[in-house]
Chain A
Amino acid sequence: MNLPIRLGSFLAAALFCWGIQTWAMGSLPFNLQRLIALAGLYVVLAVSLNLINGITGQFSIGHAAFYQVGAYLAGYFSIHNFNPQGMPPWLWLILMMILGALGASLAGLVVGLPSLRLRGDYLAIVTLGFGEIIRIFVQNTKELGGSYALDKIPKIQSLWLIWGLAIVCIAVCRNLLKTAHGLSFLAVREDEVASSAMGVNVTKVKVMAFVLGSGFAGAAGALLAHWETSITPQTFSMDVSFIILTMVVLGGTGSITGSVLAALVLFYLPEYLRNVSAISGSTLVAVTLSVITAVAVMKRLVDHYHRPMKQRVIAYLATIVGSAILGVVLNIAFRGVESLAKASFTGDKLRLVIFATTLIILMLLRPQGIFAHHEFSWDWVRRLFRRPAPTPGATS
């Protein structure tokens, strides 16, 4: 083991956490701090779901439930037991994280057990059902605030812990994939019969994936509860599960890098779009038509235009420029239509439409996800700047 590299990564991670803490907490307005915190939590959620869905191949779509278990467990415990004089708040928060993680892991174990018998769609239905059970259980429990909120949770906001958790989560998954243990997780995804015939304990692998994945989600939940101080069952509704799932699929099922990137993009995109200034109806129609043209052409290029990289990039760029010109022309043309020119749409109204459209376009043009099954590595960066060498032995 390369000790300097390990120490270096620890140092870099610590520096990053410290940096984000001092920078954001010192100079940013409160709502931006919250966005950075939530983004970190979504990174944890996406990466941990990727462990279950992408790496181990167990199609779970109730990830918000584990998030919720962690949040309510830690929140409830904290309301009744937190004593500001007892210990530094960050230490308490770490303890709460562990509590949330343990609770959610237990829930993960419960869901993981049926996964030993169920595959694909059936497992998806069970996990979805489990998510709803948790949500409805909380909604009907007065002690936990019912459908209002579990509030007055002690306010302990710690960006460095949130991003620290994200880094730990990424590191754990990456470590797993770097060792032979990770290969056995991937093997279960690829073929259960064959992996058990090769001595892989399929039961153990699946349960471990669920326990680990849900544990991280639970820890994230605990951090959320103490950041927001008030949580409702709606915070963990089914669409949260779906957003997390979308992050995993969009990033490239199985790719940690992809999950992280997709989590950041998908989380920030709708928030960013809130601030887009109003546009007129004619512009909207023009942009829509030009985007449709671009996607249609691009889709054909992706599917049928198999040329060297350089030519393909030129073709893609030409498509984008062409449709942009089309958009400008159409915009001028539609300005003549009075009813269109008068109508106005704000970013706040359009943001979910744009969000959904972006997802559809990405899935059309790159169904394997942004990163497919690849990972970021320095090697890969180095290769980008070098001429590609012919790969020996590869068959097309």
Chain B
Amino acid sequence: MSAPGSDRPVVLQLTDATIKFGGLTAVNQVSFELFQGDLFGLIGPNGAGKTTCFNLITGVYRPTSGKIAYQGNSIGGLPPNKICKLGIARTFQNIRLFGALSAIENVMVGGHLRDPSSLLSALSYFPRAIHETARLREQARELLRIVNLEDVAEVRSRDLPYGKQRRLEIARAMATGCNLILLDEPAAGMNPFEKEDLVKVVRRIRDEYQKTVLLIEHDMKFVMNLCERIVVLDHGEEIAQGPPEAIRNNPKVIEAYLGEAV
């Protein structure tokens, strides 16, 4: 069905991924694949199972059936921290920063998983741990620069305005050294200017840092503008998949989600 990108390696592949919570099937046999360097959108009405889909991919939930593979290896059922280490990072719909930590410390936590120094060397304050920490701080500063937050590096993340918190989450996810980044409604609550800024940031993440991006978004203009391919979910089921133009004119999508006048 989706021809573009097939010359690039597959990064993420969902095959009939399903999760049931008791009698409710939140995600039902969803299949799609992401290629390296994709800018991929996941859309659908509220309760369609988009965030649940993210939770499946990042290991918060274990799929009831079906397969989730990252770079060819099955990751269904792995704990979140292992999945993150493999190269999948995410942001959260309801921002989940480490409120008491400063912006730069938040990003450093993201980078810590590639910290080769041991806990013992940290407890005894050995040079190794100190250097690693300094290196992480440097890297974090660089990432904050990408999302235009270097001026608030030392501010407690709880005290940052909403739009900056969203961008900080992206920087924190980037710090994990991920290959695939999942953005859960990154533009929610942003004003048009901030959204425009965000489009640039996301493009940069893909073009300059060669990350694959999968994002959930409700703002159609934002999604259609940014994403090259889109999957539409409704009631946990996949109802369409394809490039933005095809999605815009798909009668099923219009009925379930977009409405007539888009």
Contact = CB atoms under 8 A, between A and B. Distances in A.
A200 B84 CA distance: 9
B130 A176 contact: no
Given A193-B96, A199-B84, A175 B124 contact: yes
Given A199-B85, A395-B159, A395-B161, A179 B113 contact: no
From A171, A182, A184, A199, residue with most partner B Cβ within 10 Å: A199
A180 B119 contact: no
Interface string A186-205: 11011101111111111000
B82 to A, nearest CB: 8
B122 A199 contact: no
A392 B151 contact: yes
Contact of A184 (B80, B112, B126, B151): B112
Interface string B100-111: 110001001111
A187 B176 CA distance: 14
A172 interface: yes
A198 B159 contact: no
Contacts of A198: 81, 84, 89, 109-110, 112-113, 172-173, 176
Contacts of A180: 108-109, 111-112, 115, 117, 122, 129, 132-133, 136
A31 to B, nearest CB: 36
Contact of B155 (A178, A181, A196, A393): A393
Interface residues of A, number: 36
Contact of B133 (A179, A194, A212): A179
Contact of A187 (B109, B125, B127): B109
Contacts of A190: 97-101
B47 interface: no
B160 to A, nearest CB: 7
Classify the interface of chain A: helix, strand, loop or mixed: helix
A199 B154 CA distance: 23
B3 interface: no
Nearest to A181: B122
A62 to B, nearest CB: 24
Contact of B92 (A182, A194, A373, A394): A194
Given A190-B100, A393-B155, A197 B84 contact: yes
B123 interface: yes
A49 interface: no
B109 A195 contact: yes
From B98, B105, B110, B151, residue with most partner A Cβ within 10 Å: B98
A392 B115 CA distance: 30
Contacts of B117: 179-181
B60 interface: yes
A196 B96 contact: no
A175 B122 contact: yes
Contact of A395 (B92, B96, B155): B155
Given A199-B81, A199-B85, A393-B152, A187 B98 contact: yes
Contacts of B151: 392-393
Contacts of B160: 395
Contacts of B133: 178-180
Interface of A: 1, 6, 171-172, 175-176, 178-184, 186-187, 189-191, 193-202, 208, 212, 254, 373, 392-395
17 contacts: A6-B125, A178-B133, A179-B122, A180-B136, A181-B123, A184-B109, A190-B100, A197-B60, A197-B90, A199-B110, A200-B81, A200-B109, A202-B81, A212-B123, A393-B155, A394-B152, A394-B155
